[in-house]
């Protein structure tokens, strides 16, 4: 039986979305009826479309077994995306084997937040999601495709691709992951070296050796940050093949899953026997399933922004109350770094997403009655893929956790409620990732130190200015101010202060990485400082209370809201490292709690 809260939240999302969802579905039905333009192109247009198709030219011109449009985010700047270099040829060969064809419809940008952390380039990161959506839309706009496959993994990339897929929601859409890199040194050991470097206890040579041992080869970073949260979502929401998320790159099973995904894309096109457009997969129930998965795994706070924007692209209206209510009934079932010592390879080996989905279905916390690219019913995603004679077969997944220090049952969770919390109060609305914060650190009341950029925080730390309990406020980091960069580079110094016995919290209208977690943080504060939100009225020494248990974010000092808002000089955010190109994005972007979108 479906949990009452899950049912109630789903019903209110359906009611809230009716005015947008109905017209969206009507547009998708009309597009499906019109079909791809391939057969209606002029001879010249068809010749242009097929000229680069090599051995597939004749099939494209004379057959109609189905043509796959590939949207790829391949580059070798991202370890997670480097394996995609091989995927287009695998997909073409797989399509030919069943009488179809495949073409790379377009490549889209994909940046690595791990490279740009703490630099001006990070100010383009959130906006890149909308650029990715638009670029993918350009690729699919040729309208010569019967299905689409999307090659993407990392932080803003999957959300951007999902937004684009819904713009072409009459097409089936399958997401083909590349998988996580094999395990290097432990994420906890890496974090300890970072903290020692921040404290001046080790040099850059030791830090570099540690980082290279952690990030050592192709594949997704192995901690449970935004990239791996994305992979979880694609499985919970029915856009991956079952069990595909965490199979390592360049392995026989990984390649077989890529082949199976390409052939499944043709099977569920309008030319196949099981037409399943993405507009039918990504309905309100699928988004609720995704939010439940986010809480149960202790996933990245970035998804509280991305899921809102993703849903809106399909005519579905989510708000942070939905996340908060679902968190209250969703148990935390996983301990993956930074919520524990294990990485995603250990999680996968312990039973992974298949075991977790089975547990949540048994507990009535997921909708089973959904469409997926694998067929009807989320219960299909309790199965594990196995390689048999070179092809993928799905078998029943484990019924018991293979390591209860990493993965637990609904009956005996790590904690009874989800890993994310919504905060509100006199300072505004915010979110907090609490799954990795020890209970004794989940409520902090202390004086604030106010900063307008993260470099000033680092300078104050180096100068020895943090000697007592403190809530560090970093404002003018919202989407309108500077694109809402992640402030992950502050984590080591805040962790050092906490390790010294100080009560420490972070409050910001910016973001933190999905890899952050040990420090109590109230992030995504809305309204942001540049819009005159209460955060813009704080002064050093004001008392704040951040209470993740009760979901409160309160100004304790009297009279703060009567002050004029502080105005910051943001001219330094306007130029350099590509920021010049994004002035219109900063001017047009919406608030974080509505998805921080420009489209």
| Position 424 in a domain | yes
267 pLDDT higher than 70? yes
The 3-state DSSP class for residue 376 equals strand
pLDDT band at 393 (very low <50, low <70, confident <90, very high): very high
Contact 473, 507 (CB under 8 A): yes
Q: Please indicate, yes or no, if residue 211 is contained in any of the structural domains.
A: no
Please tell me whether residues 334 and 479 are part of one structural domain.
Answer: no
> Is 192 exposed, middle or buried (CB count within 10 Å of its CB: 0-12, 13-18, 19+)?
middle
Separation between Cα atoms, residue 66 and residue 502, nearest integer Å: 62
pLDDT greater at residue 201 or residue 101 = 101
Q: Would you call 150 helix, strand, or coil by DSSP? A: strand
How confident is the prediction for the chain on average, in pLDDT? 93
> Per the structure block, which two tokens stand in for 58?
């004749």
CA distance 379 to 393: 16
Q: How confident is the model at residue 32 (pLDDT cuts 50, 70, 90)?
A: very high
Q: Is 154 a known ligand-binding residue?
A: yes
Same domain, 510 and 439: yes
List, in order, residues 6 or more apart from 206 with CB less than 8 Å away: 193, 196, 197
Coil, helix or strand at residue 592: helix
- Same domain for 435 and 514, yes or no, is yes
Mean pLDDT is lowest, of 153-162, 198-207, 294-303, 453-462, for 198-207
298 located within any domain: yes
Q: Strands 375-376 and 371-372: what pairing?
A: antiparallel
Residue 434's pLDDT is what? 84
Q: Tell whether the model's pLDDT for residue 70 goes beyond 90.
A: yes
Where residue 339 falls among pLDDT bands split at 50, 70, 90? confident
Residue 428 and residue 320 in contact, taking contact as beta carbons nearer than 8 Å: no
593 close to 509: Cβ distance less than 8 angstroms: no
- Which DSSP string corresponds to 126-138? HHHHHHHHHHHHH
What is the pLDDT averaged over residues 259-281? Answer: 96
DSSP string covering 377-444, please?
-GGGGGEEEEEETTEEEEEE--SS-S-TTTB--SSS-SBSS-SEEEEEETTEEEEEE-TTS-GGGSEE
In this model, does residue 211 exceed pLDDT 80?
Answer: no
Report the C-alpha gap between 479 and 269 in whole angstroms.
Answer: 38
Q: Is residue 405 part of a domain?
A: no
In this structure, are residues 110 and 157 in contact, taking their beta carbons and an 8 Å threshold?
A: yes
**Domain boundary, last residue among 381, 396, 411:** 396
CB 47 within 8 A of CB 341: no
Query: Does residue 384 sit in the same domain as residue 440?
Result: no
* Pair 434, 326 in one domain: no
Residue 77's CB is within 10 A of a number of other CB atoms, namely 10
User: Worst-scoring range by mean pLDDT, 7-11, 54-58, 114-118, 393-397?
Assistant: 114-118
Higher pLDDT, 35 or 393: 393
Question: Same domain, yes or no, for 88 and 235?
Answer: yes
SS3 528: coil
388 and 424 housed in the same domain: no
Indicate whether 436 and 391 sit together in one domain.
Answer: no
pLDDT value, residue 414: 95
Count of domains forming the chain: 2
Cβ atoms of 165 and 173 closer than 8 Å: yes
**CA 100 – CA 92 distance, rounded (Å):** 8
Q: Is the Cβ–Cβ distance between 530 and 434 less than 8 Å?
A: no
Q: Is residue 442 part of a domain?
A: yes
Q: In what order do the strands lie in the sheet with 67-72?
A: 101-107, 67-72, 147-151, 173-175
Residue 64 has pLDDT above 80, yes or no: no
Provide the pLDDT for residue 586. 94
Mean pLDDT of all residues in 413-438 = 91
The confidence score (pLDDT) of residue 113 equals 87
- Cα 157 to Cα 228: distance, rounded to the nearest angstrom: 12
468, 574: one domain:
yes
Question: In percent, how much of the chain has pLDDT > 90?
Answer: 78
Last residue of a domain, one of 347, 381, 396: 396
Which range has highest mean pLDDT (43-47, 338-342, 385-389)?
Answer: 385-389
- Is the pLDDT at 277 greater than 90? The verdict is yes
Distances from the Cα of 294 to the Cαs of 69, 235, 304, in angstroms? Answer: 29, 11, 9
Cβ proximity of 210 and 69 under 8 Å: no
Confidence at residue 572, expressed as pLDDT on a 0 to 100 scale? 85
Considering just the CA atoms, what is the radius of gyration of the chain in Å? Answer: 24
Phi and psi angles of residue 23, each rounded to the nearest 5 degrees, phi first: -60, -35
Boundary-marking domain end, from 396, 429, 455: 396
Task: Look up residue 391 and give its two tokens.
Answer: 């092809």
Structural tokens at position 561: 């809201």
| Euclidean distance between the first and the last CA atom of the chain, given in angstroms as a whole number | 38
Region 37-61: mean pLDDT is 84
CATH label of the domain that carries residue 469: 3.50.30.80
Distance CA 420, CA 313 (A): 24
CA dihedral 137, 141, 147, 150 (to 10 degrees): -30
Residue 453 lies in a domain: yes
Asked if residue 346 and residue 388 are part of one domain, the reply reads: yes
Q: Which residues pair with 445 in a beta bridge?
A: 545
The answer to whether 166 and 27 have CB atoms below 8 angstroms apart is no
Cα separation values, 438 from 294, 517, 519, Å: 19, 10, 9
Query: Could you tell me the pLDDT band of residue 459, with boundaries at 50, 70 and 90?
Result: very high
Which pLDDT does position 102 carry in this prediction?
Answer: 97
pLDDT digits (tens, 9 = 90+) for 399-421: 999 999 999 999 999 999 987 88
Strands 391-396, 173-175: pairing is unpaired
Across 293-399, the runs of DSSP E, i.e. the strands, are 371-372, 375-376, 383-388, 391-396
Low-confidence winner among 277-291, 315-329, 563-577 (lowest mean pLDDT): 563-577
Q: What is the predicted pLDDT for the residue at 190?
A: 78
β-strand pairing of 383-388 with 428-433: unpaired
- The predicted model scores a pTM of 0.94
8 Å CB contact between 479 and 528: yes
pLDDT value for 514: 57
Average pLDDT over residues 473-484: 96
Give me the pLDDT at residue 516, please: 60
Distance CA 339, CA 488 (A): 16
CA distance 483 to 476: 10
pLDDT at residue 39, as a whole number: 72
Q: Is the pLDDT assigned to residue 515 strictly greater than 70?
A: no
527 and 441 co-located in one domain: yes
- Same structural domain, 233 and 352: yes
Which range has highest mean pLDDT (35-39, 43-47, 73-77, 436-440)? 73-77
User: Could you tell me if 421 and 551 are in contact, meaning their C-beta atoms sit under 8 angstroms apart?
Assistant: yes
Indicate whether 33 belongs to any domain: yes
pLDDT band at 337, cuts 50/70/90?
Answer: confident
264 belongs to a structural domain: yes
Domain carrying residue 585: 420-594
CB 13 within 8 A of CB 318: yes
Of the candidates 464, 295, 447, 270, the residue with the CA atom closest to the CA atom of residue 366:
295
Residue 547 near residue 571 (C-beta atoms within 8 A): no
Which of 512 and 394 is assigned the larger pLDDT?
394
Helix residue spans in 412-475 (DSSP H): 454-462
Q: What is the pLDDT of residue 534?
A: 98
Least-confidence region, from 15-29, 506-520, 534-548: 506-520
């Amino acid at each position: 039986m479906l949990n009452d809260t899950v049912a109630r939240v789903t019903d209110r999302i359906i009611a809230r979305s009716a005015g947008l969802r109905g017209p969206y579905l009507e547009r998708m039905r009309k597009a499906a009826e019109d079909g791809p333009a391939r057969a209606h192109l002029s001879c010249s247009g068809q010749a242009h479309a097929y000229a680069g198709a090599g051995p597939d030219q004749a099939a494209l011109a004379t057959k109609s077994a189905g043509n796959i449009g590939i949207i790829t985010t391949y580059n070798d700047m991202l370890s997670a995306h480097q394996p995609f270099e091989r995927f287009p040829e695998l997909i073409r060969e797989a399509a030919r084997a069943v009488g179809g064809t495949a073409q790379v419809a377009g490549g889209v940008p994909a940046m690595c937040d791990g490279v740009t952390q703490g630099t001006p380039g990070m100010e383009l990161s959130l906006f890149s999601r909308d650029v990715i959506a638009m670029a993918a839309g350009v690729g699919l706009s040729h309208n010569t495709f019967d299905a689409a496959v999307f090659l993407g993994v990392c932080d803003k990339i999957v959300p951007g691709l999902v937004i684009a897929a819904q713009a072409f929601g009459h097409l089936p859409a399958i997401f083909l992951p590349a998988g996580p890199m094999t395990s290097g040194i432990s994420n906890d050991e890496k974090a300890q070296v970072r903290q020692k470097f921040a404290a001046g206890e080790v040099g850059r040579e030791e830090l570099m050796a540690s980082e290279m041992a952690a990030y050592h080869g192709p594949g997704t970073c192995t901690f449970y940050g935004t990239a791996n949260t994305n992979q979880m979502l694609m499985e919970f929401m029915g856009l991956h093949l079952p069990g595909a998320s965490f199979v390592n790159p360049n392995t026989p099973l990984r390649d077989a899953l890529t082949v199976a995904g390409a052939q499944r894309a043709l099977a569920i096109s309008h030319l196949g026997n099981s037409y399943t457009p993405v507009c039918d997969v990504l309905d309100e129930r699928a988004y609720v399933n995704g939010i439940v998965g986010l809480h149960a795994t202790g996933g990245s706070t970035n998804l509280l922004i991305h899921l809102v924007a993703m849903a809106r692209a399909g005519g579905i209206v989510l708000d942070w109350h939905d996340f908060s209510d679902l968190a209250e009934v969703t148990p935390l079932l996983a301990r993956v770094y930074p919520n524990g010592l294990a990485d995603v390879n250990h999680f996968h080996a312990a039973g992974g997403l298949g075991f977790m989905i089975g547990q949540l279905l048994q507990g009535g916390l997921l909708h089973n009655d959904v469409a997926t690219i694998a067929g009807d019913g989320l219960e299909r995603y309790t199965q594990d893929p196995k390689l048999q004679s070179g092809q993928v077969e799905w078998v029943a997944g484990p019924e018991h956790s293979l390591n209860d220090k990493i993965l637990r049952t609904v009956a005996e969770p790590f904690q009874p409620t989800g890993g994310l919390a919504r905060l509100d109060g006199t300072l505004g609305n915010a979110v907090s990732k609490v799954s990795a914060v020890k209970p004794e650190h989940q409520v902090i009341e202390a004086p604030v130190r106010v900063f307008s950029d993260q470099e000033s925080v680092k300078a104050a730390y180096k100068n020895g200015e943090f000697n007592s309990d403190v809530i560090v406020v970093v404002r003018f980091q919202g989407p309108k101010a500077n694109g809402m960069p992640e402030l992950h580079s502050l984590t080591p110094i805040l962790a050092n202060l906490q390790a010294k016995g100080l009560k420490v919290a972070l409050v910001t209208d910016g973001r933190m990485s999905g890899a952050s977690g040990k420090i109590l943080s109230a992030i995504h504060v809305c309204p942001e400082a540049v819009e005159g939100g209460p955060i813009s009225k704080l002064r050093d020494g004001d008392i704040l209370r951040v209470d993740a248990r009760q979901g409160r974010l309160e100004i304790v000092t009297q009279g703060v809201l009567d002050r004029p808002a502080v105005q910051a000089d943001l001219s330094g955010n306007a130029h350099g490292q590509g920021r010049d190109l994004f002035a219109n994005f900063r001017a047009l972007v919406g608030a974080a709690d509505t998805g921080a979108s420009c489209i």
